[in-house]
Structure 1
Amino acid sequence: MTGSGFYAGLNVGYGWGGSAMTTDFADGRGNALLSSSAGSFDPRGVIGGGQIGYLWQREMLVEGVEADFQGSGRKGGIDALCAGAPDGARDGVCTPGHQGDNTFDPALPVAFSLTQKLDWFGTVRGRLGVAVTPRVLFYGTGGLAYGGVVTSGNVSGINVTGSPGSGDNLAFTPVASSFSSTTTRVGWSAGAGLEGAFADNWSARLEYLYVDLGTVSGSFATPVVALSDAPLIVGYRSRITDNILRFGVNYRFSGT
């Protein structure tokens, strides 16, 4: 599509994202880090949405600005574990065991399951290209990106409790909790595409975009008893990126 004017259109494509995530277990008294692990997941799936923009053409040079909004819903997750007591020991990495009259009951592991979803995203970008023929435009694009990220998780463990030196009031108490957090992140995007006119005021294009939404983080207290008898705190940090390949159709309303 060459020439100047406003345009709008629809697109559909495929996204393969990446989320590099770190999970932490900390003691609620002083926030001392007890355990940390790293992992990643790669949510993939179909995306779709629409775009609107304006182009200016001066001879072969074409400049423009475009905004788009995409539905996604792709998600993934990881599991983390804070180890219980090793053989011959009472306390685990994150939780205490119970000391009885003649023996002890070892601490048990704590499980943390985390899911993250890119619900939607959009961009506001500049476009700069060259009309390689009167009907074909090759362009680069880059600018602002933003997106809605939903993070949810659950923690489960067993508190081993009782008075030191006593075997009479020993208790194994299963505990669990969950959380959900929604945040809008702002980052950047860049890519390139090829667009060609196929009828009066109509064009089709193939476009690649890379999107970086930066880091999402959070933490919450759990009912699991930590080594200091304070609540165990779990936290996460994730870097969210996305690769998008999409096909679009545009209609130019007016111009030259």
Structure 2
Amino acid sequence: MSAARSTGGSCLTGMLADMKWLLVAAMTAGLASHAAAADAPAARPAVKAPAPAGFNWTGCYVGIQAGGSWGKSEHVGRAGDTSGPTISGTFNLTGTVAGGNFGCDFQIEKTVLGFENDLSWTNKHGTAQDLPPFNVAGTSSTRETWIDMFRGRVGYALDQFLIYGTAGVAFAGTEITVSNPAGSITDSKTRTGLAAGLGGEWAAYVDSWGAVSLKLEYVHVDFGSKRYVDPAVPMGAFTVGTRDVRLTDDIVRAGVNVRFNWDAPVVTKY
């Protein structure tokens, strides 16, 4: 009987020893798994692709433009330092303009700052019959042959659309012709005036190197008054008197610009 009890106690002791080692092994495995998880790199958060940037107007451009030109002129008699009565009254001028331009723009957020210089040929002209007390058989005419404008531009960008205002200085080649039964005389002057207007531009075609844009603008130019035929010129039984000639322009024109972008990329859109 005692031998049997001894055998049963030995078995129980062995089972307890086995359970102890199993528990130690399980604890060791759990600690190792926790350490490995602590050393593993943290998962990176998902990064969304950036939204594509809009069109950027920063860069320089060259272009061509053409349109119509309207304006007014008046020849006013001049006697020494005193303005006399009007010779012609105010009369209308009409014609066309066509030429080229270049400029540069710089965009800051939605604001676009820039400058533009354009040179155009024009045939704008008009004629009026002289009024009493001047020779009513005579006529006075005003003509422009070219116009050059250097203007600043301030605009607001709506992606590929640009709305802008513009102002600056203008130069024009002009001539006046006075005709009467005895003949005619022409006097030419270069005029300087102030120009201001507004316009819109659309980047119609966009590529990695730049864009092709279409524009439409209106510009008003005031050349003030300038003296012609000084001194007066006798012509047969008549005298062509010294005069101050007033001149304004109203120009509406469309154009095409080829724009070359600088550092900022231009996003191609289809």
Q: TM-score, normalised by structure 2?
A: 0.68
Give 1:15 shift. 1.2
1 or 2, which has the higher helix percentage? Answer: 2
In the alignment, the residues of structure 2 paired with residue 204 and residue 214 of structure 1 have an alpha-carbon distance, to the nearest angstrom, of 32
Counterpart selection for 1:8 from 62, 70, 77: 62
In the alignment, the residues of structure 2 paired with residue 6 and residue 254 of structure 1 have an alpha-carbon distance, to the nearest angstrom, of 7
Give 1:33 shift. 9.2
Q: Which residue of 2 aligns with 1:194?
A: 200
User: What is the correspondence of 1:55-204 to structure 2 with a 5 Å cutoff?
Assistant: 55-80=105-130, 111-131=137-157, 133-156=158-181, 176-200=182-206, 201-204=211-214
Percent of pairs with identical residues: 32
Pairing 1:44–2:51 present: no
The answer on whether the counterparts of 2:106 and 2:114 sit within 8 Å (CA) in structure 1 is yes
The answer on whether the counterparts of 1:139 and 1:193 sit within 8 Å (CA) in structure 2 is yes
Higher relative CO (CA 8 A, sep ≥ 6), structure 1 or 2?
A: 1
Distance 1:5 1:223, change over 3 A: closer
5+ long unaligned stretches in structure 1: 84-93, 95-108, 157-175, 226-230
5+ long unaligned stretches in structure 2: 1-54, 265-270
Secondary structure of 1:3's aligned partner: coil
In structure 1, what residue type is equivalent to 2:113? E
In the alignment, the residues of structure 2 paired with residue 66 and residue 22 of structure 1 have an alpha-carbon distance, to the nearest angstrom, of 34
Give 1:223 shift. 4.1
Question: Hey, which bits of structure 1, 4+ residues long, moved more than 6 A?
Answer: 30-35
In the alignment, the residues of structure 1 paired with residue 240 and residue 160 of structure 2 have an alpha-carbon distance, to the nearest angstrom, of 59
1 or 2, which has the higher strand percentage? Answer: 1
Q: Which residue of 2 aligns with 1:106?
A: none
In the alignment, the residues of structure 1 paired with residue 105 and residue 81 of structure 2 have an alpha-carbon distance, to the nearest angstrom, of 53
Q: Compare CA radii of gyration and give the structure with the larger one.
A: 2
Give 1:5 shift. 0.9
Q: CA RMSD in A?
A: 2.6
Give 1:22 shift. 2.1
